Amino acid sequence: MRRYSALAALASLATHVSATLYETTSSLPETRFDYIIVGGGTAGCVLANRLSEDRRIKVLLLEAGGNYHGVEQLSIPFNSIRAAGPGSAYNWNTSTTDGGTYSRGYVLGGSSSINGMFYARGSQDDWNRYAAVTNDEGWRWENIQSYLRKNEQFVPPADGHNTTGQYNPDVHSTTGKVGVSLANYPQVTDQLFTEAVEEEPSKFPFQLDYNAGTPLGFGWVQSSIKGGERSSSAAAYLAPQYLNRPNLFVLLHAQASRVLSSTSVSTNIDTVEFSQGAIGDSTVVTLKASREIILSSGVVGTPHLLLNSGIGPASELSAASIPIVHENPSVGKNFSDHLNLLNAFALDVSEPFVPTESQTFERYTLDPAQMADVTNEWRTTKTGPLTSNGLSNQIGFSRIDTSDPAVQQQLAAFGDPTPGPHSAHYGFTPINGFAFGRAPTNNSYLSVVATVLQTKSRGSVSLNPSNPRGQPLIDTNLRSDPYDVWAMKIAFKDSFAFLATTPWVNYLADSQAALGLAPVIDSGFDDALIEQYINTHTSSGIHAVGTAAMTAANSRWGVVNADLKVKGVNGLRVADASVLPYVTSTNPMVAVYVVAERAADLIKSNYN
């Protein structure tokens, strides 16, 4: 029996017993399991931990990617989305039908290992709508509080600053597993944000804590960072003490291709088929679960697996020559995402530009010597600039102002997509540097990202008929509903109203608008030019949900019931972002944690 030792342990874990993972199927000491979890991402790590709490139960977790533990570039919070952008070995690098890419974590911990780490629960309205759609009160806001407490471990920030007035301690847990903290390193934009909110409190009201269920307003970001390090699902739920459980088996480099039945009844699902090794490896392995198989492969991976397993729209399955196990036209549909618009300003346009004189992130990103210094500081003390989430210390959530009768009438004509009065239509975030990818020029930047949080456009995940097992077809279908562009215009204008307050005006006095923004500003914000700018520069928020949506048992649409069991088959559940029928009014990571925590309880209660 050969076991694969986890990559060199982080220094902070050196006092623990070295945890182990399996790298090959032949090294597994067991071949029969009670549960097989397909996907070691945000939800899968939670399920592996919670189900293996019962030492009589054998749990196998399959992860297509490699290990998270010991990978410094993922553990450093500042790297955030920079470390796993397009082309990264930790990203699935999935293409979309419009020629773009859709980021997904290809590593233990999934997208929680590569995302921006914003820790946001959503609004109470979000959860009450989930309860209404599923006809299950267990999904209501007041009823998911225990799962929030099991998930969250609120900790002091890495810089040890006084956090009084930056959050409400009464609504947080200090006993959960995922470390959550406020700003871990100060930014020059902190004071500007605070002064702007104080200058226009009626338009930009201060929000003490957006995680209290009513997130409207402007306040401090909470991030999944603990002790200066990213607290991913893998770091929190698969820490060494959990990996060392004798009944938990985590197999890396195992890419599932389908689930199936080992009996003559094709709807009794009990087997997982997967390839062992790199993507495209032809070595196929099958393993059985005596109780259940749980799909936790995400908004793209889960519907792709269901379709390849013969569960989905009949026409699509037939076109790919896949035998139909259960026809369900909802599989892969209802791809629901946030819509982002990056606005950027070059702050220092002098020649030559000297990064070390900048107060923005470019001080480090454009100067290798500075980056080496702060990296060494992080390695030795887990403090300094790299403990920042690499994006923002503040965020704002707003509803569309309907005091203008024309705006009210237009919103009514579109149909308000928000789940209730406590939920934002849009948000915006000031970022102390260029937000995504490489800046167009070597200057220091201020970025402001506007986000439409409740879009009406719906995309899809479908099979490539010529290669069903290969990369799926992801159609984000961005901006297909006119509401989304209309709402983004309002969000765009409101973000500039925020920048029109005195502190931001002074900060941006000598700046130059980037990314084609200058003509829009020079025109006095002409509506036609704004719309053209939006159509050119908006992108996916990479927060999609809904492709295996949970609905009531008697609903005419949906893929899983309220208990997350797949409709029409036995022995199969889904627990990941794909089950959320609507995207949350904030970042959806915490919602996925709640889904996984509750799924574990539902599964356990099923067999008590």
User: Rounded to an integer, what distance in angstroms lies between the CA atom of residue 441 and that of residue 513?
Assistant: 12
* Inter-axis angle of helices 482-499 and 527-537, nearest 10: 110
Of the candidates 289, 229, 252, 173, the residue with the CA atom closest to the CA atom of residue 597: 173
How many Å separate Cα 552 from the centre of its chain?
25
Give the residue numbers of the binding site: 107
For residue 237, how many other CB atoms are within 10 A of its CB? Answer: 27
Is-contact 324 314, C-beta < 8 A?
yes
Of the candidates 187, 197, 178, the residue with the CA atom closest to the CA atom of residue 159: 187
Alpha helices in 356-449 (DSSP H): 362-365, 368-381, 405-414
Of the candidates 31, 565, 51, the residue with the CA atom closest to the CA atom of residue 269: 565
Token pair listed for 57: 């139960």
Give the residue numbers of the binding site for FAD: 107
Q: Is 233 exposed, middle or buried (0-12, 13-18, 19+ CB in 10 A)?
A: buried
* Torsion angles phi and psi, residue 221, rounded to 5: -75, 140
For residue 537, give the amino acid letter.
H
Contacts 24+ apart (CB under 8 A), 491-494: 491/341, 491/398, 491/425, 491/426, 491/427, 491/428, 491/450, 491/451, 491/452, 492/341, 492/343, 492/450, 492/530, 492/533, 492/534, 493/525, 493/530, 494/398, 494/426, 494/428, 494/450
User: Rounded to an integer, what distance in angstroms lies between the CA atom of residue 390 and that of residue 545?
Assistant: 24
Helix (H, G, I), strand (E, B), or coil: what is residue 512? strand
User: Rounded to an integer, what distance in angstroms lies between the CA atom of residue 576 and that of residue 551?
Assistant: 15
User: What are the C-alpha distances in Å from 256 to residues 278, 286, 454, 524?
Assistant: 12, 9, 32, 53
Which runs of E-coded beta strand occur in 389-459? 394-398, 426-431, 445-452
Residue 385 DSSP symbol: G
DSSP string, 75-88: H-GGGGGGTTSTT-
User: What are the C-alpha distances in Å from 472 to residues 100, 318, 495, 540, 572?
Assistant: 14, 16, 36, 17, 21
User: Rounded to an integer, what distance in angstroms lies between the CA atom of residue 27 and that of residue 423?
Assistant: 49
Longest dimension (CA), the chain: 74
Is-contact 593 587, C-beta < 8 A?
no
Is-contact 461 299, C-beta < 8 A?
yes
Length of the chain: 608
